[in-house]
Amino acid sequence: MLLENKVAVITGAARGIGRATALVLAQEGARVGLVDLLPEVEETAAAMARSGHRAATAVFDIADAARVHEGIEALRQMLGPIDILVNNAGIVTNVASVARMTPEAWQREIAVNLSGAFHMIREIIGPMAARKWGRIVNVSSVAALGGLHNQVGYAASKAGLLGLTKTVTLEHARDGITCNAVLPGLIATELVSAMPAEIRDSAVALTPARRLGLTDEVAHLIAFLASEHAGFINGAEIPIDGGMRLNASSLGSRREVGATRRAL
Ligand SMILES: NC(=O)c1ccc[n+]([C@@H]2O[C@H](COP(=O)([O-])OP(=O)(O)OC[C@H]3O[C@@H](n4cnc5c(N)ncnc54)[C@H](O)[C@@H]3O)[C@@H](O)[C@H]2O)c1
């Protein structure tokens, strides 16, 4: 097992990539703390219990620094010192052009997707550095590389995560801590299944693999980055996108933008 005797905390664990990652980290031997805004995170814990893994849960908003402080303290009490942090929680609040994006939607996307990861790292990094071992994985997006039509807050927050990732590496690599970003393309989660089919199909057509990614594929990459084996991978941006970024200049082409507008 890759993660025996490790304690891992993962945000956004109620569903999608976060839920799949929680299950894989537990299968690899970690004791897992599940964080989400939704009480449904208890269902992830129940699914883990059914496969023989105990998990601790904490329901809080990662955008709220004070709640993050309390939540991490509570998880430490239940699980012990935190070895692994996966910053996975993320949102898209608004799909609109730059001119039509509301300041509120922009601010919430930055607050959750970027500041949320900062708050979490800020809480765990000191004790991690003192113990001279740690793994942080930030879930960014291929949107960080090429931007994304009609999702400026999302793309900017995901690009900001890359700067956060690299700075943590620069400051803490000598403490035995790695901090890496994974950049998923389109992954088959509930959120993506609910997208208008025309947009989803256009994105698949731009993916050389001609399919959506699986949540388990992302989860196993995260588990590897969280393991001892990945100790010399640091400050990296690792796409997991079936090659989609190679066609990034076509993403949001006139056809898709048109489809997005019609969907609004
Ligand atoms: N699904 C994709 O195709 C895809 C592609 C690229 C990147 N990503 C990124 O992967 C991550 C997971 O995506 P997903 O598709 O599984 O999303 P999802 O919406 O299915 O799950 C996100 C989880 O985060 C939780 N969350 C949202 N805001 C929160 C907050 N303020 N505090 C605590 N928890 C909060 C939600 O309740 C939810 O359980 C996100 O960061 C997303 O941007 C997803």
- Its CATH architecture, for the domain 7-195+214-238, is 3-Layer(aba) Sandwich (3.40)
Q: Whose CA is nearest to atom 42 of ligand 1?
A: 90
Question: Using one digit for the tens of pLDDT, what is the confidence trace for 88-147?
Answer: 999 999 889 999 999 999 999 999 999 999 999 999 999 999 999 999 999 999 999 999
| Beta-carbon count within 10 A of 111 CB | 19
Amino acid letter at 1? M
214 among known catalytic residues: no
Average pLDDT estimate for 195-214? 91
Mutating to test ligand 1, I would choose from 15, 17, 164 the residue with most ligand atoms within 8 A of its C-beta, which is: 17
| pLDDT of amino acid 250 | 63
Question: What are the residue boundaries of the structural domains of the chain, listed by start?
Answer: 7-195+214-238
Left if phi > 0, otherwise alpha if psi is -120 to 50, otherwise beta: which for 243? left
Residue with tokens 């200049």: 249
Rounded to whole angstroms, how far apart are CA atoms 18 and 215?
8
- pLDDT value at 260 more than 70: no
| pLDDT of amino acid 78 | 98
Left if phi > 0, otherwise alpha if psi is -120 to 50, otherwise beta: which for 44? alpha
Residue 195: pLDDT band (50, 70, 90) is confident
Task: Name the nearest CA neighbour of 204 among 217, 187, 219, 221.
Answer: 187
Indicate yes or no: pTM above 0.85.
Answer: yes
Question: Using one digit for the tens of pLDDT, what is the confidence trace for 176-185?
Answer: 999 999 999 9
| pLDDT of amino acid 251 | 60
Which DSSP state fits 10?
E
| pLDDT of amino acid 262 | 41
Rounded to whole angstroms, how far apart are CA atoms 234 and 167?
11
